[in-house]
Structure 1
Amino acid sequence: MCEIFCFNSNTPKEVNECLQCFYNHSEDHPDGWGLANMQSNEFVINKEPIKANCSQHLKDILSHPVVGKNVFAHIRLATVGEIISPNCHPFIEADDNNRSWMLIHNGTIFDYPELDEYITKESGDTDSERILLYIIDKVNEFEKDKGSLSTIKERFNLLKEIVFDLSRNNKLNLMIHDGDLTYIHSNMKNSLYYLKNDDGFMVATTPLSDDENWKPAELNKLFGLIDGNIIFESEEHENEFILKEEHEKAIEEFSKSINRDETND
């Protein structure tokens, strides 16, 4: 599927070494790369539908210090959606109150009909982009009913309800940022790890160093991070994703529709 990365800290830090290690995994995830770095309350987004190790643009970026408090990265192994730029993560969208939301996803949505209406609304054709558009609509509905902006805690509680519901029979490793809060969720064993140290809080699909303090992310919970610390932690849901034969067959069918450019390999 994909690999995802997040760095969250209270002060800007350089993350080139971790990013280089992360993007080196692109041999097994050749269908695109993305990088999001929040600067002055706005995300600087770079992404391409080619293998990260073949990208001159990414090499140019990593030849200079990549410094930030909130940095997200993605390498794609496509299961849903063509190998085109609009399908590369991260996805970013503004809600009705002009708050920017960013999402990266590792997984596949096998069963969630509520996302179908977004097929004609999204820029690309991925289930991941549809998740973000669905979340934005739910946030807009909540704030319209409330008649004012949501608080950070209200948004966390709303995202908890959405993510818990989405996680039924779907692999849903997510990293989301709403301008204030970073949301982390995993519901499959051995598919997300974290490292907490003096530099900040780092989360990745696989450990990015030999540091023995990397630990598996706790499953079936939503976490909210600010400034390198867990601010919110949900209760545990019961929707652990276990890959079954029917999932493998579905992924195989999805993959048959994808045209891969072998010249990138």
Structure 2
Amino acid sequence: MCELYGIISNKPISLNESLKLFYKHSAQNPKGWGLSYWNDKSEITIYNEGKSANDSDLLQDILSHPIESKVSIGHIRTATVGLMSDKNSHPFTTNDCTGRRWTLAHNGNIYTGSQLLPFRDKQLGETDSECILLYLVDCINKKTQEKGNPLNSKERCEVIDSITKDLSQGNKLTLLIYDTEQFYAYTNIQELLYVSSQEDYYCFVSVPLENSFFWNKVPLNILIVYSGNEQIYHSQDHGNEFLKTTPMKFHNFTL
């Protein structure tokens, strides 16, 4: 399985130490890496490489300079099928019809999800994860067009809540998403997303980092949403925990 990393804060914090600890796990996840973070103008800096983070001169150069941000999403890839390529490396990012930029990283597998199939011809790479983002933005666009105005905070939460409830049925789904204002976290797999609550921020990881933080499991089957270091949304339990006995129908997506 891949590993995720996410930070959401109410003020810029230094990311270098936690990123270095996170990318140390690349020996077990050598099929690609990615990193995104935002400045105070909500402008994204994003890097993706289809190689092990341990072999990346680019990443070493990035981490040799101070990185401060309120928000970051990182990913290291373990691919069972599919090419090692920049286009298959998370996180993925695109704009909705209002110009809002959405960024997503995924850990898991999509076995059943016909709603994602129309986006196979629209994606740049080969992964189910990119299709999830395209499907998500398509849903946001449809709701926006129905309303005739951009969706507000609660409405965006409700759309993502509906998507995670739908896609978590029969699939392995752990997601970190950022829409330039709100940070979304979701998992339906035991012990594949942890969170550490600090004074000014939350840090999310798939595998606890080797630091002094105390790590808690993120609640299963529940979408949680943050603005800065304030939790603004907590869904009901979707009840779609993925178990080893869950029936699987493979749609030939790749991680």
Q: TM-score, normalised by structure 2?
A: 0.95
Q: Secondary structure at the match of 2:62?
A: helix
Q: Where in structure 2 are there 5+ consecutive unaligned residues?
A: none
Counterpart in 1 of 2:156?
155
Task: Go from structure 1 to structure 2 and tell me whether the alpha carbon gap of 1:180 and 1:199 turns closer, same or farther (over 3 Å shift).
Answer: same
SS of 2:172's equivalent in the other structure is coil
CA shift digits 1:177-222 (9 cap, x unpaired): 1111000001011111000011410000011134362111110000
> Structure 1 residues 212 and 37, CA, compared in 2 at 3 Å: closer, same or farther?
closer
Contact kept in structure 1, 2:170 and 2:247, CA below 8 Å:
no
- Counting helix residues as a fraction of each chain, which structure ranks higher? 1
Give 1:171's aligned residue.
172
Q: Which runs of 5+ in 1 are unaligned?
A: 259-265
Match of 1:262 in 2: none
Q: Which residue of 2 aligns with 1:24?
A: 24
Where does 1:107-146 land on structure 2 (aligned, <5 Å)? 107-146=108-147
> In the alignment, is the contact (CA less than 8 A) between 1:93 and 1:101 conserved in 2?
yes
C-alpha distance after superposition, 1:62-88 (max 9, x if no partner): 001111000110000013432111110
Q: What CA distance in whole angstroms lies between the structure 1 residues aligned with 2:63 and 2:147?
A: 44
Instruction: Give the AA of the match of 1:3.
Output: E
> Take 2:67 and 2:79, find their aligned partners in 1: how far apart are those partners?
26
How is 1:198-213 mapped onto 2 (pairs within 5 angstroms)? 198-211=199-212, 213=214
Q: Is the 8 A contact 2:197 2:203 kept in 1?
A: yes
How many angstroms does 1:175 deviate by?
0.4
**C-alpha separation in 2, matches of 1:11 and 1:209:** 24
Paired residues of 1:79 and 1:254 also in contact (CA < 8 A): no
Structure 2 CA distance for aligned equivalents of residues 81 and 127 of structure 1: 11
Aligned partners of 1:55, 1:96: CA distance in 2, in Å?
A: 35
Find the aligned partners of 1:18 and 1:115 in 2 and give their Cα distance: 33
TM-score, scaled to structure 1: 0.91
> Mean alpha-carbon deviation: is it higher for 236-245 or for 148-157?
236-245
CA distance in 1, matches of 2:163, 2:9: 26
Task: Find out whether 1:42 has 2:43 as its counterpart.
Answer: yes
Q: Once superposed, what is the RMSD of the aligned Cα atoms?
A: 1.9
The SS at the match of 1:121 is coil
SS at 2:109 equivalent: coil
Q: Does the 8 Å CA contact 1:41/1:179 hold for their aligned counterparts?
A: yes
Shift of 1:24: 0.5
Report the alpha carbon displacement of residue 243 of structure 1 after superposing the two structures with TM. Answer: 2.7
Q: Summarize the Cα distance change of 1:80–1:100 in structure 2 as closer, same or farther, 3 Å threshold.
A: farther
2:242 corresponding residue in structure 1: 241
Counting matched residue pairs gives 254
The equivalent residue for 2:88 is 87
**Residue 105 of structure 1: aligned partner:** 106
Q: How many Å separate the matches in 2 of 1:163 and 1:152?
A: 17
Query: In structure 1, the residue corresponding to 2:162 is in which secondary structure?
Result: helix
Per-residue deviation, residues 1-38 of structure 1 (Å, max 9, x unmatched)? 20000011000000111111110100110000000001
Letter of the aligned partner of 2:168 in structure 1? S
| CA shift for structure 1 position 137 | 0.6
> Does the Cα contact within 8 Å between 1:80 and 1:127 map onto a contact in 2?
no
Secondary structure at the residue paired with 1:201?
strand
- Matched to 1:64, the amino acid is H
- Give 1:261's aligned residue: none
